[in-house]
Amino acid sequence: MNSHSSKTFDFDLFVIGAGSGGVRASRVAADLGARVAIAEERYFGGTCVNVGCVPKKLFSYAAHYADDWEDCRGFGWNPGQRQFDWPSLLANKDKEIARLNGIYRNILESRKIRIFNERARLVGPNVIEVGGERVSARYILLAVGGWPWKNPFPGNELAITSNEIFHLPALPESMLVYGGGYIATEFASILHGLGVEVALVYRGDKLLRGFDEDVREFITGEIGKRLQLELNREIAQIERADGGNLRVTLNSGATINVGEVLCATGRKPMTGDLGLENTGIRTSDNGAIEVDDRFETAEPGIFAVGDVISRVTLTPVALAEGQIVARRLFGGMDVRMDYEYIPSAVFCHPNIATVGRTEAEARSTGREYDVYLAKVRQLKHTLSGRDELSLIKLIVDCETERVIGLHMVGPDAGELAQGFAVAMNCGATKADFDRTIGIHPTLAEEFVTMRNRRKEHAARA
């Protein structure tokens, strides 16, 4: 451990929040010899493990069977009657989550990290109040995450959020999903796959703002083939209707009757009642804790990572940020977080994956770039008969010839894009892609066989 270690404090590092970022930082710090404590008032593993990535992906697998059920007929199968049991899925999911909670707890216990199953609050720069006790720490890390946010409208208390959807006692026959971001598109797809009649209501004209425009247009079309899509619409109010249903009135005046409404209108940093006012920590307008490029807040010695700083709100990013903080404080390593080629996937159906720049971002740099774009029909669908295309898009910087943006809509897009993210982080050029031999017949080979260039100029805005 470096010279920052001091026996005058109860702990070298006190972490608030045992989610992805907090647990990773605690583990790395303890492995580097620090005396660490962690406080968690809810569940181990945070949003990702309990009400996010992991259970969502399990639900997404469940939903994909519906497609397989239909697709297999063209291959000679006769799948019989379709039946799905939601309570079985919930029970199996809960068992797996409990296993993961145990693994997270074990990561901490096996390193003698002191665990407080309590809410912790900052009392001053080095002092934390936890479970009626006051403890001191040389450094404090805030990794408290985020929480679903419902935009205000009459009756929004009748809508559930992504927190509740993982524990719904029964799956309704119909549901309205509100929003057009990650959670809304993923859950609209999942619920549809599980046999729920879904209406997806979004205020914009294309889903997934912030993604590449070609991807947005394409996925909006593909999702629109599967379920009722209400674009350019907002919820005006929700009321209880007869028979326990909800009557949702849109700003167009139209009404939709559904069993449940899932509000997926974003998440906010969870900074309430943390005692920030007892420190010099500053927050931005959306409540995110402001940090410098070493994740230190305006209060020296207090750091923050993950969703609470609202930079890139993805689990692997929180893990990387937490690790960087611990390694710098206790391992003397001054590594900076590189946010440039972070891959991400949206597990809507079909999946989306993206690495690097969107075309709009490429254009905004003022540099010239080329675009390669293909819409292809997967070999599988020649026999399944499914009316679904995949989209593949590359954006290449004309001067350096580097592939600066890679986008895909299609099956297992995330599995595919991860490898390309490595290549792009290594500075792969279009020529590197071109001399790579494809794997035939796959969708992935399309990335190394793209020849038709659409030249784009910065001025083309």
Instruction: Answer yes or no whether residue 345 interacts with ligand NDP by CB under 6 A.
Output: yes
Is 440 a known active-site residue? yes
Instruction: Answer yes or no whether residue 174 interacts with ligand NDP by CB under 6 A.
Output: no
Binding mask 192-231 for ligand NDP (x = CB under 6 A): ----------xxx----x----------------------
Least distance to ligand NDP, CB of residue 183, Å: 3
Task: Closer to ligand NDP by CB, 255 or 382: give it.
Answer: 255
Tell me the angle at which helices 53-71 and 182-193 cross, rounded to the nearest 10 degrees. 40
Task: Closer to ligand NDP by CB, 151 or 436: give it.
Answer: 151
Beta-bridge partner residues of 247: 239, 257
Q: Are 116 and 40 in contact (CB under 8 A)?
A: yes
Contact region with ligand NDP (CB under 6 A), list: 181-189, 278-286, 298-306, 386-394: 181-189
CA distance 247 to 156: 12
CA distance 27 to 25: 6
Instruction: Answer yes or no whether residue 125 interacts with ligand NDP by CB under 6 A.
Output: no
Task: Closer to ligand NDP by CB, 181 or 405: give it.
Answer: 181
Number of residues located near ligand NDP, criterion CB under 6 A = 23
Least distance to ligand NDP, CB of residue 254, Å: 16
Nearest residue (beta carbon) to ligand NDP? 181
Mapped onto helix, strand or coil, the DSSP state of residue 401 is coil
Instruction: Answer yes or no whether residue 151 interacts with ligand NDP by CB under 6 A.
Output: yes
CA distance 396 to 107: 42
Q: Are 301 and 128 in contact (CB under 8 A)?
A: no
Q: Would you tell me how many other CB atoms lie within 10 Å of the CB of residue 156?
A: 16
At residue 381, what is the residue type? H
Least distance to ligand NDP, CB of residue 191, Å: 14
Dihedral sign (CA 276, 278, 279, 283)? positive
Q: Are 443 and 376 in contact (CB under 8 A)?
A: yes
Among 63, 184, 329, 406, binds ligand NDP (CB under 6 A): 184
Least distance to ligand NDP, CB of residue 208, Å: 7
Among 347, 372, 433, 447, binds ligand NDP (CB under 6 A): 347
Instruction: Answer yes or no whether residue 180 interacts with ligand NDP by CB under 6 A.
Output: yes
Q: Are 70 and 11 in contact (CB under 8 A)?
A: no
Contact region with ligand NDP (CB under 6 A), list: 251-259, 287-295, 339-347, 418-426: 339-347
Contact region with ligand NDP (CB under 6 A), list: 23-31, 101-109, 342-350, 388-396: 342-350
Number of alpha carbons in the 13 Å side-chain half-sphere of residue 48: 21
User: Which residue in the list 4, 167, 440, 457 is annotated as catalytic?
Assistant: 440
Among 50, 220, 265, 297, binds ligand NDP (CB under 6 A): 265
Instruction: Answer yes or no whether residue 44 interacts with ligand NDP by CB under 6 A.
Output: no
Instruction: Answer yes or no whether residue 314 interacts with ligand NDP by CB under 6 A.
Output: yes
Residues 233-252 that bind ligand NDP (CB under 6 A): 234
Task: Closer to ligand NDP by CB, 234 or 432: give it.
Answer: 234
Beta-bridge partner residues of 393: 373, 407
Instruction: Answer yes or no whether residue 266 interacts with ligand NDP by CB under 6 A.
Output: yes
Least distance to ligand NDP, CB of residue 263, Å: 9
Among 140, 308, 346, 373, binds ligand NDP (CB under 6 A): 346
> Please, what is the Cα angle at 218 between 212 and 223, to 5 degrees?
120
Q: Where does 181-224 show beta strands of DSSP type E?
A: 197-201
Mapped onto helix, strand or coil, the DSSP state of residue 114 is strand
Cis status of the peptide bond prior to 148, with omega within 30 of 0: no
Dihedral sign (CA 354, 360, 364, 368)? positive
Q: Which of 413, 415, 347, 410 is nearest to 379 (CA)?
A: 410
Q: Would you tell me which residues interact with ligand NDP (CB under 6 A)?
A: 151, 179-184, 186, 202-204, 209, 234, 264-267, 313-314, 344-347
Q: Which residues are catalytic?
A: 440
